[in-house]
């Protein structure tokens, strides 16, 4: 590989890390609320134009996913529902609802950290993002800061199980 091409790839890798760290910061906001720590940012021309984090329990709606919130904010910024030319960074592989919204928004690229073997729709359970029957397919890059995001999710669910166990024990006594 030529030096110039390698340099471009390294520059993009550094940008991917930078923006995934911004998505992780969003996930930490969800964690502080007691929500599953999932965060998302949408980038256009090297600027974050949409941010979101999971708020399903807080807002009492299944629609309050990180990606949906970020897509809404990015659409307002772009003054269009089409988010062509944008990149979506997310800490966990999108579910079917979010993957569908990504396709509908015409987002060309998704960069994700951790895979979701139980509900992921960017290749784990199914691949909505690259279904050839749809009129839009999405380029997917996996594994950016995967360990950090997986660790945060594991810690959250361990704390949740321990908290639920204590509540159950209190009710029983």
Catalytic positions are 67
Residue with tokens 């009492």: 60
CA torsion through residues 105, 71, 91, 59, sign:
negative
* Residues composing the chain: 173
- CA proximity to 129, closest of 141, 144, 117: 141
149 among annotated binding-site residues: no
In Å, how far from its chain's centre is CA 156? Answer: 16
Q: Return the H-helix or E-strand segment holding 42.
A: strand 39-44
Q: Is 65 annotated as a binding residue?
A: yes
- Binding site as annotated, residues for Zn(2+): 65, 95, 98
């Amino acid at each position: 590989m030529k030096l110039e091409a390698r340099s471009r790839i390294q520059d993009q890798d550094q940008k991917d890390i930078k923006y995934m760290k911004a998505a992780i910061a969003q996930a930490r906001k969800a964690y502080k609320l007691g929500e599953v720590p999932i965060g998302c940012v949408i980038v256009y021309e090297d600027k974050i134009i949409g941010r979101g984090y999971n708020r399903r329990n807080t807002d009492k709606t299944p629609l309050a996913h990180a990606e949906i919130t970020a897509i809404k904010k990015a659409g307002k910024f772009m003054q269009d529902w089409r988010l062509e030319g944008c990149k979506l960074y997310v800490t966990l592989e999108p579910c079917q609802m979010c993957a569908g919204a990504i396709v509908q928004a015409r987002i060309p690229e998704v960069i994700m950290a951790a895979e979701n073997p139980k509900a992921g729709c960017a290749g784990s359970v199914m691949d909505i993002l690259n279904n050839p029957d749809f009129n839009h397919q999405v380029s997917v890059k996996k594994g950016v800061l995967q360990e950090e995001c997986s660790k945060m999710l594991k810690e959250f669910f361990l704390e949740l199980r321990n908290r639920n166990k204590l509540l159950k024990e209190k009710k029983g006594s």
